[in-house]
Structure 1
Amino acid sequence: MTLVETGARALIGAVFGPTSDGETAYARQLLHHLRPDMLVLWDKGFDANAFLAAVAATEAEFLGRPRANRRTPVLTRLADGSYLSVIGTLPVRVVEAQITVTCEDGTTFSGSYRLVTTLTDARRYPASGLVRLYRQRWEHESAYYALRHTIMDGRVLRSGDPVGVEQEMWSC
């Protein structure tokens, strides 16, 4: 599990271990890297009340996509079409968006999704801007690509134990 800065694709932190522990368990180990001036972008795999409360407790803001079955109460509708809500006891804002994707062959498909954020001020953070910003989450995938194909140049890690793998990863 890694925490990566978008734009520069700088690796802020990483933790390693067996897949049986789950992503949010590893993500919790990275929370000490968060600061109040950060915005954490996350995907639906991290949509758990306790985890989101832990992120908010760092005073970092977040913007992410909740699971499709998450139901958030509409407390107040805002002028930009978003609405104020809560997740557990955490005040959030929900943005509903339509996306259209055009494939290389010219075919298109459309769909809708929701974003949840702790950026509740719709004047300062308009819904349309948050939708555009959320696309930056994919910078994380680009950072992984760089690690796998550029920095490591196709090398395979040699270490056979967790401590050795961690040391070798940080040395890349």
Structure 2
Amino acid sequence: MFLLGFFIFSCGEESVPKPKGMLRLEYPKAVYKETENDCPFSFLQNQDAAINVRKDCGMTLQYPKMNASIFITYKPVQDNLDILLRDAQKLTYEHVAKADNIQEQPFVNPEDKVYGMFYQVTGNAASASQFYLTDSISHFVTGSLYFNTKPNYDSVLPAAKYLEEDIRKIMETMSWE
């Protein structure tokens, strides 16, 4: 009886482990529009980003679908360019404790007199990307990308790469008034 029951109930589908799945996040192709503000600079922004402009020309580009923001600050240059550059670099390198690597990429656009640096931060740092731009005479802009969540590099990487392209577009299209 025991053997007969064993053979009857043991026949069935063989269980096979499921293959590991990878999360695939796809974002819409970015469409850019000119920023609308009364500040001494302008750039193209992703139309999916909501922009909040403050009186001091600081801005926040919010990406609600990605739970992220790009914070932009503006400072006029008044014989303090060295201090502004040092502060921007210091802000970036404060992430060294958590970052695996910080890659610097200089930016030069002599036609529009826009010069700066893009920092790509890898690892579980609070900010995934940072940048600064200046004309070396009158204007200085810094920007930082932050996610509204605990830093986990692997989880935010697809969104960080997408937003990195938006930051590069901001840098490439920056113009001074």
TM-score if structure 1 supplies the norm length? 0.30
Q: Of the two structures, which has the highest relative contact order with CA contacts closer than 8 Å and spacing of 6 or more?
A: 2
Could you say which structure has the higher strand fraction?
2
Counting helix residues as a fraction of each chain, which structure ranks higher?
A: 1
Q: Radius of gyration: which is bigger? A: 2
